[in-house]
Structure 1
Amino acid sequence: MDEQDDLTGAPSPDAGDAAARRGAAAAGGEEADAPSRPFVVPCATLGYDAPWRWLRAGWRDLRATPGLTAVFGFVILLVSAAISLLAWNLGRFALLATLLSGFVFIAPLICVGLYCVSRALEHGRTPALSESFVLAKRVAGQAGVFALAQGVIVLLWSRAGMMVGAFFPIDESNADTVWQFLAIGSAVGSIFAALTFAVAAFSLPMIADRDVDMVTACVSSINAVLRNKGVMALWAGIIVVLTALGFATALLGLAVLMPLLAYAAWHGYRETLDAHEWPALD
């Protein structure tokens, strides 16, 4: 009977079991070969000298690319001047919030272009404006998601400010109500400002460098900020001071300070987040 089965070619039960085991082993090998990445990008523990180191690195990038930086600086100056001029002429807070929201949608693409400059210098290449445009186009979808998230935060921030004014109206004859309004309004604004900063600190540089989704980038940015609260608070303070200095110079300083901060933010991302497990953008 065994010889007859062999002659007819009918598979034996042992052969079927062996084939099943080979199939399971192959499937297991495929699962083992599949990349397994953490949900949050690992981050470093920073010292208080880190923000100053980022600024020095950003200044080197600015000095290495004066012409290209001037192009981006001119665009930033035009956008900032247009927003300020329209808000001044029309004098409506609601319109100002809308215009600022519009800038939130434009700024990420400008920042991606600046990150591309630092990225090219880091890789030993000569930065080119065309390369910045190509990268900005490639990550436009992710930058759009980022802009939408920031836009939602700005709108919620604006709504919260209106609610503070409604629940804590100012009585000019009573100084206590003024201080109460300022204290509560500042506290609410600080919460939204901190959230905006935590989301934006490292997420946008990461999507300009790696093939990563915006959710992972934003969560990783928030995690890195929370793990380095003191250092990132110092970095946020530096950003506020330099931005205020740019506005104090009739916006002219923004043409230099904003690219400088973008270059510094790139180096901050590279030092803080270890994103080597995600494929680099070509």
Structure 2
Amino acid sequence: MNEPAKQARPPEELPMAAPCRRLPTRAPLDWLARGWVDLRRAPRQSLSWGAVVLALSYLITAATWRWGNLGLYLGLVSGFVFIGPWLAMTLYAISRRLELDRGVSLRRSIADAGQSIRGAMVFAVILIIVLLVWARAANTLYIFFPALANPGWRDLLLFLTVGSAVGAVFSAVVFAVSAFSLPMLMDRRADAVTAVITSINAVLRNKRTMLLWAAIIVSCVLLGAATAWLGFLILIPLLGHATWHAYRDTIDASEWPARPPVDFKAREQAVMQKKRDL
């Protein structure tokens, strides 16, 4: 877990990335177990957010079915690679509040996640750039599509092989970029570039462990798709809470100032004090 914050250092003296710990290969199984504990400790908040994700999934699917095409529909699964970290930020906040023994509610957790909106926007721009390059690469792949009216499986083999390889490369990039960056942005007053470099460094230094973690995430996404997205009601909160514990076990961000949870009571008291002063 992260150590208490060290003595504050000027931003220009901070390293480019937070150090990471070496992880045992089976660590993701422990993250899932602790994520399940968090889900059981805050079931109403976690499942309510899971219901939000479920509703959004059906909305996107309906829009794709009505106005999209088969390629766009198949792209939904890969699209969750991009929006998953965003949807999980509130779940990270719930887990952190449980860890700090602070009051847990969706309102407070959403406010906690909103404190890092500036860094999250920069992170979104990075993902959008990757998405655009990915989309361009996907369009280029059609040069491998067999120019036949009714291509058979052998004719499609090259197309499917190249497409899968390109998709795997971009998915790996997105995974490395997003594995620990958003939890760090919410937990610490760090910039998005530092968080992204930290995430990539941690993934590269724990390849076997993170490969298992990526396989678990992909399996959960496929399970959600196989259940007509109903599985996301539980799977998304479980993965979100587990990711928070993955960040805490892996990243030592103690040199960066902590970002405290939102205290609505203190805010209200400050507003009332200002009114009295006026």
TM-score normalised by L of structure 2: 0.83
- Is residue 258 of structure 2 the alignment partner of residue 280 of structure 1? yes
Tell me, in whole angstroms, the C-alpha distance in 2 between the residues paired with 1:33 and 1:109.
29
Q: 1:257 to 1:192 in 2, by over 3 A?
A: same
Tell me, in whole angstroms, the C-alpha distance in 1 between the residues paired with 2:63 and 2:173.
28
For the aligned residue pairs, the C-alpha RMSD in angstroms reads 2.4
Where relative contact order (Cα < 8 A, 6+ residues apart) is larger, the structure is 2
Q: 1:134 to 1:91 in 2, by over 3 A?
A: closer
Instruction: Report how far residue 134 of structure 1 moved.
Output: 1.6
- Is residue 29 of structure 2 the alignment partner of residue 48 of structure 1? no
Aligned match for 1:230, one of 208, 217, 233: 208
> SS state of the match for residue 271, structure 1?
helix
Q: Give 1:118-133 correspondences, 5 Å limit.
A: 118-133=95-110
Count of residues in correspondence between the two structures: 251
Q: Which runs of 5+ in 2 are unaligned?
A: 1-7, 261-278
1:81-105, CA deviations, whole angstroms, 9 ceiling, x for partnerless residues? 1111111122336766998899788
- Is residue 133 of structure 2 the alignment partner of residue 159 of structure 1? no
State whether residues 170 and 178 of structure 1, in contact with CA within 8 Å, keep that contact through their aligned partners in structure 2. no
Tell me, in whole angstroms, the C-alpha distance in 1 between the residues paired with 2:52 and 2:41.
19
Q: Identity over aligned residues, as a percent?
A: 46
State whether residues 198 and 222 of structure 1, in contact with CA within 8 Å, keep that contact through their aligned partners in structure 2. yes
Instruction: Report how far residue 78 of structure 1 moved.
Output: 0.8
Tell me, in whole angstroms, the C-alpha distance in 2 between the residues paired with 1:221 and 1:133.
23
State whether residues 210 and 280 of structure 1, in contact with CA within 8 Å, keep that contact through their aligned partners in structure 2. yes
Q: 1:103 to 1:181 in 2, by over 3 A?
A: closer
Aligned match for 1:84, one of 57, 61, 72: 61
TM-score normalised by L of structure 1: 0.82
- Is residue 246 of structure 2 the alignment partner of residue 268 of structure 1? yes
Aligned match for 1:177, one of 147, 150, 155: 155
1:80-132, CA deviations, whole angstroms, 9 ceiling, x for partnerless residues? 11111111122336766998899788655432211100001111223122221
State whether residues 81 and 171 of structure 2, in contact with CA within 8 Å, keep that contact through their aligned partners in structure 1. no
1:149-206, CA deviations, whole angstroms, 9 ceiling, x for partnerless residues? 1122122212111101134445444544311011111111110000000000000111
What's the counterpart of residue 124 of structure 2?
147
> SS state of the match for residue 23, structure 2?
coil
State whether residues 181 and 196 of structure 2, in contact with CA within 8 Å, keep that contact through their aligned partners in structure 1. yes
Tell me, in whole angstroms, the C-alpha distance in 2 between the residues paired with 1:215 and 1:173.
45
Rg bigger for which structure?
Answer: 1
